[in-house]
């Protein structure tokens, strides 16, 4: 994006917005998403009493800001109108040739949608100096981000549409196997993430079958509070055409991404599915959650060819 392109959009001024995004690497997606993301955008609402609101500090328990969903097609047009393609390449898109000065070229955005939550993209657009990655294509001679701020150029609708477009850029990303994906089922929000055996500090190697087993991570959070739910029996069934079905038990563990259920396993390249089975909670529950976390739950994640 170029600062001169700001004049192309004369939307409503957006001067202040409080975003609670994880401190991930600026724009390029070299770190994993947060271990306990906000509940997925499913259109469901939460109801709380005024007393509960005040008891938890003015926000619902486990509350986290979640950017509303947008229109990816309209967001693509915003991307074009802002001339973002002059600094950011996107494989598979037919944008005009860049022609920009090489020293101002930012990171390629291909596959970036699988690397960051929506709120991080929004922060990068509105406040690019909130997180600065030190390196060519990110930092200018003044030590600040080469990305200009668009806080005064975009309406809220344009912002959420642009973020929706960026989140849709999942093909050809940095990860082997399945890109991070989240679904909300029964009492849970479940996020599946896979780091191939050829990855180094979040970087993927070549496409195809990983040379060594990667690490399958499943983050299970309470859909109401967003908090991790431990003490669950979790297993994964991996299916791919022409290969035997594989079933793996996932163990509770803590790593750089936080608490998750994980196992070292190789996911096949191309079309495959990972079916997660979550059993009833294995510890006693209090009256406040009576009847929850007791129903066996199945979640299916599919990856196309």
Are 146 and 201 found together in one domain? no
Are 72 and 8 found together in one domain? yes
- Residue 216's CB is within 10 A of a number of other CB atoms, namely 25
Domain finish residue from 142, 173, 204: 173
Q: How far apart are alpha carbons 51 and 248 in whole angstroms?
A: 44
Are 125 and 222 found together in one domain? no
Domain finish residue from 173, 207, 242: 173
Q: How far apart are alpha carbons 223 and 38 in whole angstroms?
A: 8
Are 207 and 137 found together in one domain? no
CATH of the domain at 120: 1.10.760.10
Number of H helices, E strands in the chain: 4, 8
The pLDDT of residue 136: 67
User: Do residues 179 and 214 make contact, with C-beta atoms less than 8 angstroms apart?
Assistant: no
The pLDDT of residue 294: 92
Least confident of 42-51, 158-167, 264-273: 42-51
CATH of the domain at 186: 2.60.40.2480
**Which residues lie below 8 Å from residue 147, measured CB to CB, with a gap of 6+?**
1, 27, 87, 106, 124, 128
Which SS3 state, helix, strand or coil, does residue 66 take?
coil
Confidence of residue 173 (pLDDT cuts 50, 70, 90): very low
Res. 290: pLDDT tops 70: yes
User: Do residues 228 and 36 make contact, with C-beta atoms less than 8 angstroms apart?
Assistant: yes
Are 202 and 86 found together in one domain? no
Are 4 and 125 found together in one domain? yes
- Per-residue pLDDT tens for 14-50? 333 333 333 333 444 434 444 333 334 444 577 888 8
The pLDDT of residue 78: 93
- Per-residue pLDDT tens for 182-234? 888 899 989 888 877 654 333 333 333 334 678 899 999 998 888 899 999 99
Are 15 and 119 found together in one domain? yes
Both tokens assigned to 265? 């396993």
Give me the DSSP letters along 244-264. Answer: --EEEEEEEEEETTEEEEEEE
Q: Where are the beta strands (DSSP E) in the chain?
A: 181-185, 188-195, 214-222, 234-240, 246-255, 258-265, 272-278, 297-303
Confidence of residue 163 (pLDDT cuts 50, 70, 90): very high
Res. 267: pLDDT tops 60: yes
Among 132, 144, 104, which Cα is nearest to 3's?
104
pTM: 0.51
- Per-residue pLDDT tens for 110-127? 878 777 888 889 999 999
Are 42 and 168 found together in one domain? yes
Q: State the residue for tokens 């022409």.
A: 242
- Per-residue pLDDT tens for 230-258? 999 999 999 998 899 999 999 999 987 78
User: Do residues 15 and 152 make contact, with C-beta atoms less than 8 angstroms apart?
Assistant: yes
Are 147 and 202 found together in one domain? no
Q: State the residue for tokens 């990856």.
A: 303
Q: How far apart are alpha carbons 147 and 139 in whole angstroms?
A: 8
Q: How far apart are alpha carbons 217 and 191 in whole angstroms?
A: 8
- Per-residue pLDDT tens for 47-83? 888 888 888 888 887 777 888 888 889 999 999 999 8
Are 250 and 162 found together in one domain? no
* Mean pLDDT to the nearest integer, 262-267: 91
Are 50 and 151 found together in one domain? yes
Are 108 and 235 found together in one domain? no
Confidence of residue 106 (pLDDT cuts 50, 70, 90): confident
The pLDDT of residue 103: 59
Q: Could you list the residue range(s) of the whole structural domain that residue 25 is in?
A: 1-173
Residues in the chain: 305
How many separate domains does the chain show?
A: 2
Dihedral of CA 75/120/207/134: which sign?
positive
**Chain mean position to CA 31:** 11
Domain finish residue from 173, 192, 217: 173
């Amino acid at each position: 994006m170029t600062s001169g392109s700001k004049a192309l959009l004369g939307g409503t001024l957006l001067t202040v917005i409080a975003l609670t995004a994880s401190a991930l690497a600026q724009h390029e997606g070299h770190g994993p998403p947060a271990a306990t993301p906000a509940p997925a955008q499913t259109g469901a609402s939460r109801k709380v009493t005024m007393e509960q609101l005040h008891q938890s500090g003015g926000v619902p328990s486990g509350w986290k800001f979640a950017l509303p969903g947008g229109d990816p097609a309209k967001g693509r047009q915003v991307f074009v109108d802002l001339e973002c393609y002059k600094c950011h390449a996107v494989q598979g898109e037919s944008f005009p040739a860049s022609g920009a000065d090489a020293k101002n070229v930012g990171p390629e955005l291909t596959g970036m949608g699988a690397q960051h939550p929506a709120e991080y993209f929004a922060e990068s657009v509105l406040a690019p100096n909130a997180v600065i990655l030190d390196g060519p294509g990110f930092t200018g001679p003044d030590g600040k981000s080469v990305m200009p701020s668009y806080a005064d150029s975009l309406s809220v609708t344009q912002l959420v549409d642009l973020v929706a477009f960026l989140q849709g850029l999942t093909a050809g990303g940095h990860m082997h196997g399945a890109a991070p994906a989240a679904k909300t089922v029964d009492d849970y929000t479940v996020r599946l993430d896979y780091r191939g055996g050829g990855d180094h500090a979040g970087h993927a190697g070549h496409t195809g079958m990983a040379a060594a087993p990667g690490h399958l991570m499943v983050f299970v959070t309470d859909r109401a509070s967003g908090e991790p739910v431990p003490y669950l029996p979790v297993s994964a069934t991996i299916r791919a055409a022409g290969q035997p079905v594989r079933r793996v038990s996932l163990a509770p563990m803590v790593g750089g991404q936080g608490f998750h259920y994980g196992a070292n396993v190789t996911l096949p390249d191309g079309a495959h599915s990972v079916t997660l089975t979550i059993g009833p909670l294995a510890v006693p529950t209090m009256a406040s959650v009576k009847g929850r976390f007791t129903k066996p739950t199945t979640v299916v994640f599919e990856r196309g060819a």
